[in-house]
Chain A
Amino acid sequence: MENDLRPLLSVEDLTIEIAGANVVDGVSFTVAPGKVMALVGESGCGKSLTSYAMLGLLPPAARRSGGRIRLDDLDLTTLSPRDLRKARGKDISIIFQEPSASLDPLTTVGAQIAAAYRTHTKVSRTEAYAKARQMLADVGIPDPDRRLHQYPFELSGGMCQRIMISIALICNPRVLVADEPTTALDVTIQAQILDLMKKLVAERGTSIVIITHDMGVVADIADDVAVMYAGRIAEIAPVQALFHKPQHPYTALLLASVPKLTDAPKADLATIEGRVPTPDEFGAGCRFADRCPLASEKCRAEQPPLFDCGGGHRSACWHIDRMPEISEVAA
């Protein structure tokens, strides 16, 4: 995985605290240039906080209490607010779930794209607009000359997401963070946006960190996947290994709960009983223990480290050897 290429982005032992609870707890992963890393998990697992921390965009209540985030030689966690602003958009960019909520409703989309370019490059307004026009064409917006002068309300959701991608990529950042970029879109438009992101990775060599809860999106676009549960990484692996030989009970059950082609209609789906613990319920052991069919005394008492399963596949479970039992539960 990362052996052949020096990682471009590395998150090391990231810990984020809200009101004394570690809602992100010792998260580490790396992303190689031109690769797509997916952070997957259910609501409240810390995947979005992890991504916001990369851009220094944590909400006021949250505090990074440990760890580093490095982009090449740049330590994003020690930058001054001024340097961080310089890095955002130029080195690392982000797009969000709801594109219409991220755009300024009172400014034309052309002006918003041009502004992003002029923040980081000394060029005239005319040059910036020319660049913006080119960018609109690159992200597949028909009739860019007309679109430049339109306002967000005149565009559809899919169109607005293309505008967000234009703003995020106009300065050619090395990393794009995409927080549920297609969740608010129709499936047909989702397919278009995912294809666009794949094309940009191929053409520009941009690395992507995509945050999603949709296993289908992961299967489509990711090279590597980190499955998060209650603030920790449960399992991290190359995409095919994760789907075909999951090594953590949570991943296996999550995959089994998605309806599949081979299921009999209306047959019972595998479920994960119970719910995700809230931060004040985090115990000393594995945070999945209360819902896990394999859980033992040890799981409740002691936090499992990420064990190496070979081939870049790692799993935080004390009972990896008992994984075949899960397939019986899930079947």
Chain B
Amino acid sequence: MEDLRNVLELKDVSVHFGGRSGLFGNSGAVVKAVNGVDLEVRKAETVALVGESGCGKSTLSNTIVGLQAPNSGSVKISGEEVVGADRRKLNDIRRKVQMIFQDPALSLDPRSTIGATIGEPLLVRGIARGKALEKRVADLLTQVGLRPEHADRYPHQFSGGQRQRVVIARALALEPDLLICDEPVSALDVSVRAQILNLLVALQKRMGVSYLFVSHDLSVVRHICDRVVVMYLGRFVEIADRDSFFANPKHPYTRALMSAVPEADPIAQRSKQRFILQGELPSPANIPSGCAFHTRCPLATEICSKVRPELTRRDDGAVVACHHA
């Protein structure tokens, strides 16, 4: 019945904020951060979630790890329903999904040795202690390319790239099925970025972990992901396999994003056809009618401001929400 190959299943998930009267009077507008999204992530698959700041990608990540309750919809991790689960159940489910963030310096306790940091989830859950814990920590450090003797050091003794390795080791301690990577390399220098990307790919091959990779860097996305999801103002506008996504992007917003990313090649970059979006992302408290993108879309016609396009499947398997693409 349940498809166990899916480590994540989202069904019609919505997350709204505000809209109630608060301490400072009526806060009025409802911010519709996430609006009816469906998504599946398969075992050992990497799915990229792409969009501008304010599109709802962080709210969605928080909802998946259980830091934010959705207003409606269903979130299943490895077949287990998160929404409405009791504490014990939730605790159980949570070990299957872990998260890493952009800035490793802010994710580590400066006063704990990294051995203690990596071992903490194992200790808290009573999975290992004493010598066994030490051995497991040493093993995790080796897995992420650090050395067992690093366990006694503190975060400040490491570089940014090494700290991100520590964060990854901690996230993997409980052997999760799904790792949510929120801009995991954008705070790192270019040469270090490549090391961390190589590590993530190697760990996936070795452990079969799935990634939901939140990023705005399309060159990184193209490198690491199997499928790409584009989000605009709380809704998915395009979902496609990596190859068809990059070879034949369909939604005008996707095409604008791609043309906005500067390529590291002066000839290609200066001769490419530019398709620069005018204006900025509208406020999620005041989402435009019809297709939310119509205010910035070069293809927009009358229907776009009136009727919201549904996600429909195209010949090459891509799913797109646009009247004209």
B289 touches A (CB below 8 Å): no
Interface residue ranges of B263-322 to A (CB < 8 Å): 263-270, 274, 276-277, 279-281
Candidate in A190, A213, A258, A261 with the most chain B CB atoms within 10 angstroms: A258
Indicate if the CB atoms of B223 and A266 lie closer than 8 Å.
yes
Known contacts: A190-B260, A240-B266. The answer to whether A261 contacts B198 by CB under 8 A is no
B21 touches A (CB below 8 Å): no
Candidate in A158, A218, A244, A261 with the most chain B CB atoms within 10 angstroms: A261
A239 touches B (CB below 8 Å): yes
Indicate if the CB atoms of B223 and A263 lie closer than 8 Å.
yes
Interface residue ranges of B186-218 to A (CB < 8 Å): 189-195, 197-198, 201, 216, 218
B142 touches A (CB below 8 Å): no
Interface residue ranges of A227-260 to B (CB < 8 Å): 239-240, 243-244, 253-255, 257-260
Indicate if the CB atoms of B222 and A215 lie closer than 8 Å.
no
CA distance A260 to B274 in the complex (A): 19
Report the minimum CB–CB distance from A24 to chain B (whole Å): 18
Write the chain B residue with the least CB distance to A241.
B266
Contacts of B220 in A (CB 8 A): 259
A216 touches B (CB below 8 Å): yes
Report the minimum CB–CB distance from B71 to chain A (whole Å): 26
0/1 per residue, A145-161, Cβ < 8 Å to B?
00000000000111100
Known contacts: A265-B242, A275-B159. The answer to whether A270 contacts B194 by CB under 8 A is yes
Indicate if the CB atoms of A220 and B270 lie closer than 8 Å.
yes
B10 touches A (CB below 8 Å): no
Indicate if the CB atoms of B267 and A240 lie closer than 8 Å.
yes
Write the chain A residue with the least CB distance to B55.
A186
B31 touches A (CB below 8 Å): no
Contacts of B257 in A (CB 8 A): 187-188
A43 touches B (CB below 8 Å): yes
A42 touches B (CB below 8 Å): yes
Contact residue among A142, A194, A216, A244 (Cβ-Cβ distance under 8 Å from B263): A216
27 contacts between A and B (CB under 8 A): A42-B191, A42-B192, A142-B279, A187-B218, A187-B260, A188-B52, A188-B256, A188-B276, A189-B280, A191-B260, A191-B262, A191-B276, A191-B277, A215-B264, A216-B262, A216-B269, A218-B266, A243-B265, A257-B194, A259-B197, A259-B220, A259-B222, A261-B246, A269-B223, A270-B194, A271-B194, A275-B159
Contacts of B276 in A (CB 8 A): 188, 191-192, 195
CA distance A253 to B268 in the complex (A): 20
CA distance A261 to B218 in the complex (A): 10
A321 touches B (CB below 8 Å): no
CA distance A149 to B305 in the complex (A): 31
- What size tier do the contact residues of chain A reach? 35 or more
Candidate in B223, B224, B242 with the most chain A CB atoms within 10 angstroms: B223
- What size tier do the contact residues of chain B reach? 35 or more
B107 touches A (CB below 8 Å): no
B91 touches A (CB below 8 Å): no
CA distance A244 to B267 in the complex (A): 9
Write the chain B residue with the least CB distance to A157.
B53
CA distance A258 to B220 in the complex (A): 8
Write the chain B residue with the least CB distance to A41.
B189
Indicate if the CB atoms of B261 and A265 lie closer than 8 Å.
no
B155 touches A (CB below 8 Å): no
Contacts of A258 in B (CB 8 A): 190, 194, 219, 264
A280 touches B (CB below 8 Å): no
CA distance A189 to B226 in the complex (A): 27
Report the minimum CB–CB distance from A29 to chain B (whole Å): 18
Contacts of B249 in A (CB 8 A): none
Indicate if the CB atoms of B264 and A253 lie closer than 8 Å.
no
Known contacts: A187-B257, A258-B219, A269-B197. The answer to whether A219 contacts B263 by CB under 8 A is yes
Indicate if the CB atoms of A272 and B191 lie closer than 8 Å.
yes
Contacts of B261 in A (CB 8 A): 187, 216
CA distance A271 to B188 in the complex (A): 13
Report the minimum CB–CB distance from B292 to chain A (whole Å): 15
A295 touches B (CB below 8 Å): no
Write the chain A residue with the least CB distance to B264.
A215
A18 touches B (CB below 8 Å): no
0/1 per residue, A170-198, Cβ < 8 Å to B?
00000000000000001111111011000
Contacts of A253 in B (CB 8 A): 191
0/1 per residue, B152-177, Cβ < 8 Å to A?
00000001110000000000000000
Known contacts: A156-B280, A271-B195. The answer to whether A259 contacts B219 by CB under 8 A is yes
CA distance A259 to B246 in the complex (A): 14
Contact residue among B190, B198, B270 (Cβ-Cβ distance under 8 Å from A268): B198
Q: Which 10 A-B pairs have the closest CB atoms?
A: A216-B262, A259-B223, A257-B194, A42-B189, A215-B264, A269-B194, A272-B191, A191-B260, A220-B262, A186-B52
